[in-house]
Amino acid sequence: MTIIIGYDGSEGAKGAIEFAGGYFSGRDAIVVTAFEDWPPAVQGDAVQVDDAARAKAEATAEEGAALARQAGIKAEPHTVYAAEKAWRSIINVADELDAGLIVVGSHGFNGLTPLVLGSVSHQLTHHAHQPVIAVPTPEAVAARREQKKAGNKETTHTH
């Protein structure tokens, strides 16, 4: 089973690789970096991708693959141009490679932030044809725990 690991260089993506290494050491993985070139250069019907954007994405994917190899995963980098959305590109790669699992970091946004910014992990969990593991950042986990503590404080009622 090939695993797809979405990697954008963020702390959340690094956490996803660390998580994957703990559970999938020795497995094959493709570290996918989806990149956008905004605004894209359009010439006729062809979209021309900026070489600098592609080079940065390739370096990011290689960084992710190196981290995955350090975590014990047999990883190869892969870059893909995200003509629409990064999550769609990750799904396309997973489908093309008949991957069995997608692992990504989750920034742990709540409220309106994911609605405004969009959430790759959220969209993947709803649209991917494979199981998706969205690994929250340690900060998101800590914030959720604090929020839970604040909401679960016992109160004493007297009658």
Sheet arrangement for strand 101-106: 74-81, 28-35, 3-6, 101-106, 132-136
Average pLDDT over all residues of the chain: 85
pTM given for the model: 0.81
| CATH class of residue range 3-151 | alpha beta
Residue 22 to residues 40, 74, 132, Cα–Cα distance (Å): 38, 13, 16
Q: Are 12 and 105 a contacting pair, CB within 8 Å? A: yes
pLDDT in tens, 45-94: 655 667 888 889 999 999 999 999 999 999 999 999 887 789 999 999 99
3-state secondary structure 138-158: HHHHHHHHHHHHHHCCCCCCC
* Phi, psi (degrees; rounded to nearest 5) at 3: -105, 135
In 25-119, alpha helices (H)? 51-70, 86-96, 113-117
Give the HSE-up count for residue 159: Cα atoms under 13 Å, Cβ half-sphere. Answer: 0
40, pLDDT greater than 60: no
Task: Give residue-wise pLDDT tens across range 9-36.
Answer: 999 999 999 999 999 999 999 999 998 7
